[in-house]
């Protein structure tokens, strides 16, 4: 009797809850989809760590790990609270892993630019547009109070050095570049998690020296892999000079340097930028191609096909080939993500489970975040998983639609083999269009957030170029890699180069169409979070409940449209200053000295002008020592010489000085030392508000120490 009353009460509660929160009760009913939220919570915990303004103590990570274990145990014992407890466990685990990862890779970050003579070990080499980029480890110099773990140094011209060599050189080094403005990309944080504490260029050619210590077994293995990659890269760029060789190297060894900027921009505007980064497309073509070819060859023998698990044999071969591709590609984070997703699918085939499911994707995302929690802030991580999640959701919908059609259609009415063959080209084109559209829509918010650029003909670009990539370029690349040990790679490489030329021609044609790409003002982080949550809601849940995700996506779109923009920007050199005019556009007060910062400011503002086209504005008055311009709330002054300070101090509301010196008149005073220390500023004039790059980055281990 008590059980019946309890069931009756729960039934009434469920009925009442379903009337008030129909989406909630529908989501609760889909218990098989609950685990898909665990990697979301794991990534949220890692993102919370990265978003902190101060570095948390180590004990907090261990405390979060303890809470994660306790919540995980509760989730296994208390079925009714399994979802909530599991999400708490994953959230705390993500936070703890991110903090422990940061402590493990922590090293010295240069506090100031310096010229230093050093001896170091070459870990890796990569061709660049102006020379060769060296990744140096174990740098030794008397100029370092505490040397960084790694340095990235560009050497002009070619070099005969190899990974594992020790070199002596003189270099101009600086801290890894931070954001050009609050909210911009933080390359310094990405460099920190790679162990890079400084970057710069070498004076003259480095000289090989005797090794200062014997290499460890892991260094020997890494040297062997990097030497193979470097030789393959140089061979491809020798056979195929220019952009074709650089693109071929990007597709095989993962080295992006040397690609012509105009060619790269054309591919980006045509929606083909993903073709230059080893990710899911390339890994699927390699692994899927090996799987299909080997299975087809084994099926030629009826005896083998009927008595042996040829599907599993093909999956094992594809897994081995994909692992080799991962190794020679440099195992960059996008390639690791792609390999894990492919490996999960191939292992599912070995275990007689469905190969492409949302759970496989969730497992791959969880493994990546456990190994590298900082990847949650990486554009490649966000865009690749967003694209694959959208494709899997479309595949699930298509599978359900076909199942309904099969149930409704009588077997006698199904098309014959000839008709199915005639429909095959249309099916391929439809698949490319659907996947291209789904991938483009899923990655568009992240492209706008990180790059401020939207491509409008990505579906057309992929429809034209994907057959060339899939049936021409990548098979030729595989043949060239297989032929290299025998010295027979030139013919496949030239075939690959011809395919790359066709891809570039198609990319340029699409990019030159009217309205192929457009710039948009930078999105705030809150907008991206809202769009991401809405998108996740739509791909995780099934049925009508998924459409509630549009509410969060509309909220994110509103936040992106109505985001306030700063009235004034000051770079770290205190000489590059931009002010927003009455036309709503940024205008530079004088020719910008930091051209990179100026270009990024305009792009983040959705402005396609070059920095030289944005110099000067109405009301700007300059003389030999500085400039003044009236703005909202008062006068803005930029002093280029010390003699301008006396006059500007008395009348300016905001004063920026390219020299060191202070005065008490202005409400905001920025001098050269302060700008260099704080990394630049974003200023709102009415009401007056100043936010520095250092303040936005916070007191974190990847931020150089403050110089007084």
Write out pLDDT tens, residues 183-207: 888 999 999 999 999 999 999 889 9
Sort strands 166-174 and 517-519 into parallel, antiparallel or unpaired. unpaired
Length, in residues, of the chain: 708
E strand or H helix at 494? helix 490-511
Q: What is the mean pLDDT of residues 557-579?
A: 90
Q: What is the mean pLDDT of residues 277-288?
A: 78
Range name among 395-404, 428-437, 457-466 with the lowest pLDDT average: 428-437
| Cis previous bond, 687, omega within 30 | yes
358 neighbors 341 (Cβ within 8 angstroms): no
Range name among 118-122, 396-400, 636-640 with the lowest pLDDT average: 396-400
Question: Which alpha helices (DSSP H) does 106-216 contain, by range?
Answer: 187-193
Beta bridge mates, 586:
580
Question: Which alpha helices (DSSP H) does 620-659 contain, by range?
Answer: 645-651
143 neighbors 117 (Cβ within 8 angstroms): yes
User: What is the residue whose two structure tokens read 């597709």?
Assistant: 251
**Helix-, strand-, coil-residue percentages of the chain, each rounded to 5:** 60, 15, 25
Q: What is the mean pLDDT of residues 583-608?
A: 91
DSSP state of 694: H
Mean pLDDT, the chain, integer: 84
Q: How many whole angstroms separate alpha carbon 480 and alpha carbon 474? A: 10
pLDDT at 82 over 60: yes
pLDDT on residue 355: 59
pLDDT at 270 over 90: no
More confident residue, 574 or 3: 574
**Cβ neighbours of residue 156 closer than 8 Å, sequence gap 6 or more:** 130, 131, 201, 202
User: What are the backbone dihedrals phi and psi of residue 134, each rounded to the nearest 5 degrees, phi first?
Assistant: -105, 135
pLDDT at 624 over 90: no
Q: How many whole angstroms separate alpha carbon 606 and alpha carbon 644? A: 34
More confident residue, 380 or 317: 317
DSSP state of 704: P
Give pTM, 2 decimals.
Answer: 0.85
Return the percentage of the chain with pLDDT > 90, whole number: 36
pLDDT at 417 over 50: no
Q: How many whole angstroms separate alpha carbon 459 and alpha carbon 457? A: 5
Residue 231's pLDDT band, with cuts at 50, 70 and 90, is: very high
Report the alpha-carbon angle 383-388-391, nearest 5: 125
Q: How many whole angstroms separate alpha carbon 570 and alpha carbon 181? A: 8
pLDDT on residue 387: 84
pLDDT at 418 over 50: no
pLDDT at 706 over 70: no
Q: How many whole angstroms separate alpha carbon 183 and alpha carbon 700? A: 15
pLDDT at 408 over 90: no
DSSP state of 239: H
Residue 356's pLDDT band, with cuts at 50, 70 and 90, is: low
More confident residue, 615 or 651: 615
Residue 428's pLDDT band, with cuts at 50, 70 and 90, is: low
E strand or H helix at 630? strand 626-631
Residue 278's pLDDT band, with cuts at 50, 70 and 90, is: confident
pLDDT on residue 426: 56
Extended beta strands in 129-195, E state: 131-140, 150-155, 166-174
* 350, burial (CB in 10 Å: exposed 0-12, middle 13-18, buried 19+): middle
pLDDT at 18 over 70: no
pLDDT at 329 over 80: yes
pLDDT on residue 492: 92
Return the percentage of the chain with pLDDT > 70, whole number: 90
Q: Is 542 helix (H, G, I), strand (E, B) or coil?
A: coil
User: What is the residue whose two structure tokens read 């630049």?
Assistant: 680
pLDDT at 688 over 60: yes
Q: What is the mean pLDDT of residues 538-558?
A: 89
352 neighbors 28 (Cβ within 8 angstroms): no
Q: How many whole angstroms separate alpha carbon 155 and alpha carbon 135? A: 11
pLDDT at 286 over 90: no
**Cβ neighbours of residue 199 closer than 8 Å, sequence gap 6 or more:** 151, 152, 153, 173, 174, 175, 176, 177, 191
Q: How many whole angstroms separate alpha carbon 43 and alpha carbon 52? A: 15
Q: What is the mean pLDDT of residues 106-121?
A: 92
Cα 453 to chain centroid, rounded: 14
Q: How many whole angstroms separate alpha carbon 259 and alpha carbon 273? A: 12
Q: For residue 432, what are its two tokens?
A: 């490319």
Q: How many whole angstroms separate alpha carbon 583 and alpha carbon 629? A: 15
Residue 20's pLDDT band, with cuts at 50, 70 and 90, is: very low
Q: How many whole angstroms separate alpha carbon 109 and alpha carbon 132? A: 23
Q: How many whole angstroms separate alpha carbon 497 and alpha carbon 242? A: 10
42 neighbors 91 (Cβ within 8 angstroms): yes
pLDDT at 650 over 80: no
pLDDT at 27 over 70: no
Beta bridge mates, 568:
579, 683
């Amino acid at each position: 009797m008590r059980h019946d009353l309890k069931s009756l009460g729960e039934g009434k509660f469920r009925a009442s809850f379903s009337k008030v929160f129909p989406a909630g009760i529908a989501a609760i009913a889909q218990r098989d989809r609950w685990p898909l939220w665990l990697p979301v919570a794991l990534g949220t915990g890692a993102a919370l760590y990265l978003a902190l303004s101060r570095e948390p103590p180590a004990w907090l990570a261990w405390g979060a790990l303890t809470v994660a274990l306790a919540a995980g145990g509760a989730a296994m014992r208390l079925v009714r609270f399994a979802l909530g407890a599991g999400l708490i466990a994953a959230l705390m685990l993500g936070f703890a892993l991110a903090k422990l990862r940061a402590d493990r890779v922590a090293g010295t970050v240069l506090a100031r630019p310096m010229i230093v003579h050093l001896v170091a070990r070459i870990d890796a080499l990569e061709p660049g547009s102006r020379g060769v980029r060296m990744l140096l480890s174990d740098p030794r110099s008397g100029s370092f109070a505490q040397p960084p773990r790694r340095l990235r140094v560009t050497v002009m011209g070619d070099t005969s050095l190899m990974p594992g060599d020790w070199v002596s050189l003189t270099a101009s080094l600086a801290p890894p570049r931070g954001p050009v403005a609050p909210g911009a990309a933080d390359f310094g944080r990405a460099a920190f998690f790679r162990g890079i504490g400084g970057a710069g260029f070498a004076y003259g050619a480095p000289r090989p020296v005797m090794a200062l210590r014997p290499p460890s077994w892991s260094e020997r293995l890494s040297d062997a892999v990097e030497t193979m990659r470097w030789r393959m890269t140089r061979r491809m760029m020798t056979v195929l000079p220019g952009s074709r060789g650089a693109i071929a190297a990007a597709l095989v060894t993962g080295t992006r340097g040397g690609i012509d900027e105009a060619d790269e921009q054309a591919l980006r505007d045509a929606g083909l930028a993903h073709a230059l980064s080893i990710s899911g497309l390339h890994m699927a073509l390699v692994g899927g191609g090996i799987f299909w070819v080997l299975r087809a060859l084994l099926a030629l023998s009826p005896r083998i096909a009927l008595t042996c698990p040829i599907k599993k044999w093909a999956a094992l071969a594809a897994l081995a080939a994909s692992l080799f591709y991962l190794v020679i590609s440099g195992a960059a984070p996008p390639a690791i993500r792609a390999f894990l997703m492919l490996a999960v699918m191939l292992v599912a085939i070995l275990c007689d489970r469905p190969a492409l499911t949302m759970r496989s994707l969730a497992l791959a995302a969880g493994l990546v975040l456990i190994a590298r929690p900082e990847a949650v802030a990486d554009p490649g991580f966000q865009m690749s998983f967003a694209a694959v999640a959208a494709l899997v959701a479309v595949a699930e919908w298509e599978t359900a639609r076909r199942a309904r059609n099969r149930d409704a259609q009588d077997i006698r009415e199904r098309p014959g083999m000839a008709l199915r063959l005639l429909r095959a080209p249309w099916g391929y084109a439809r698949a490319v269009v659907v996947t291209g559209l789904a991938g483009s829509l899923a990655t568009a918010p992240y492209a706008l957030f990180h790059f401020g650029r939207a491509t409008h003909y990505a579906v057309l670009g992929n429809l034209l170029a994907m057959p060339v990539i899939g049936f021409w370029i990548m098979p030729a690349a595989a043949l060239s890699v297989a032929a290299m040990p025998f010295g027979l790679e030139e013919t496949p490489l030239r075939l690959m180069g011809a395919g790359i030329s066709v891809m570039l021609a198609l990319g340029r044609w699409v990019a030159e169409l009217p309205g192929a790409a457009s710039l948009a003002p930078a999105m705030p982080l809150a907008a991206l979070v809202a769009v991401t949550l809405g998108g996740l809601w739509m791909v995780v849940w099934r049925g009508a409940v998924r459409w509630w995700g549009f509410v969060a996506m509309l909220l994110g779109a509103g936040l992106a449209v109505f985001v306030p923009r700063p009235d004034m920007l000051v770079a770290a050199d205190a000489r590059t200053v931009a002010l927003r005019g009455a036309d709503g556009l940024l205008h530079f007060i004088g020719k910008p000295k930091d051209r990179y910062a100026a270009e990024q400011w305009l792009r983040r503002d959705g402005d396609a002008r070059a920095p030289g086209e944005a110099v000067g504005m109405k009301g700007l008055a300059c003389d030999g020592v500085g400039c003044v311009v009236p703005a909202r709330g008062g006068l803005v002054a930029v002093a280029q010489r010390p003699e301008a300070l006396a006059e500007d101090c008395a009348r300016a509301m905001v004063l920026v000085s390219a020299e060191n010196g202070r005065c008490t008149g202005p409400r905001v005073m920025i001098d050269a030392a302060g700008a260099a220390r704080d990394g630049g500023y974003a200023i709102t004039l009415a009401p007056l508000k100043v936010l520095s790059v250092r303040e936005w980055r916070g007191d974190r281990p990847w931020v150089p120490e403050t110089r007084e």
